């Protein structure tokens, strides 16, 4: 897989131009056109570089950036914005942006910045999620419990990643389903239950239950069923 770039940008013209250009250069690009969709992708995907527009419908770029940093994610973020006032630039950088590009920009310039950010070692930002003795390395896809490797399917892995991102939180079926399968939940399909059952089986070969059913509400991942 190539370098994975997430673009959060509501202007169609810029989005088309950036997505097409980066794909031609061999990047894997996902495009979200508003803040809520952008946040969904930020939470559920593993990105090498994020291109974040400042003004967006829904939560704006600065809000997404703050949330991302508060969640402890150090993925390099390049802010895209028409703003070029020094104070705005400082606000963006203070909130945890790695770089800044003012619109309008030339594709060459964007490409140079993206390449530089993708090469930058993210240091403490190793792509490891861990909770309650379960860990997963998003770069190598290695999942472990108590030091033992778990052999997961792609969907089981995606489900585990979702749980690890929301430990000790009651997660409704719709939220999990839409986060992991990225499609609307019809409330009828038992796909989610089947995958939870399989994932439980694999996790429970190495310790007590971690995915607890909360009757009528969904699931909670953690040592204490709450
Ligand atoms: Ca915008």
DSSP string over 39-57: HHHHHHS--SEEEEESS-S
**Residues counted in the chain:** 226
User: Can you give the pLDDT at residue 193?
Assistant: 94
Q: Strand, coil or helix: what is 67?
A: helix
Rounded distance from Cα 28 to ligand 1 centre (Å): 22
For the chain, the straight-line distance linking the first and the last C-alpha, in angstroms and rounded, comes to 39
Rounded distance from Cα 130 to ligand 1 centre (Å): 35
Rounded distance from Cα 10 to ligand 1 centre (Å): 5
User: Can you give the pLDDT at residue 122?
Assistant: 53
User: Can you give the pLDDT at residue 114?
Assistant: 94
Q: What is the pTM of this model?
A: 0.55
199 sits in the region (left: phi over 0; alpha: psi -120 to 50; else beta) called alpha
pLDDT along the chain (226 residues), means of 10: 89 94 92 96 91 94 91 88 72 84 89 88 65 88 92 92 90 85 78 96 96 93 81
Rounded distance from Cα 149 to ligand 1 centre (Å): 44
What six digits make up the tokens of 48?
Answer: 């090498």
Rounded distance from Cα 206 to ligand 1 centre (Å): 48
């Amino acid at each position: 897989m190539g370098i994975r770039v997430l673009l959060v940008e509501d202007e169609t013209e810029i989005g088309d131009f950036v997505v097409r250009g980066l794909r031609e250069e061999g990047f894997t690009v996902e495009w979200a056109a508003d803040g809520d969709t952008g946040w969904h992708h930020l939470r559920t995907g593993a990105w090498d570089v994020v291109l974040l527009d400042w003004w967006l419908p829904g939560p704006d770029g600065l809000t997404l950036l703050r949330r991302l940093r508060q969640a402890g994610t150090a993925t390099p973020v390049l802010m895209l914005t028409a703003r070029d006032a020094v104070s705005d630039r400082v606000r963006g950088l203070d909130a945890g942006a790695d770089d800044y590009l003012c619109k309008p920009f030339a594709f060459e310039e964007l490409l140079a910045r993206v390449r530089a950010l993708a090469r930058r070692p993210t240091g403490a930002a190793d792509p490891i999620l861990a909770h309650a003795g379960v860990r997963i390395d998003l770069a190598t896809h290695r999942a472990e419990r108590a030091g033992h490797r778990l052999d997961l399917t792609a969907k089981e892995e995606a489900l585990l990643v979702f749980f690890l991102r929301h430990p000790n939180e009651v997660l409704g079926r719709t939220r999990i389903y839409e986060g992991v399968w990225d499609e609307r939940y019809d409330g009828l399909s038992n796909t989610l239950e089947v995958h939870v059952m399989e994932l439980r089986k694999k996790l429970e070969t190495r310790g007590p239950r971690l995915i607890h059913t909360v009757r009528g509400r969904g699931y909670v991942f953690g040592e204490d069923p709450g």
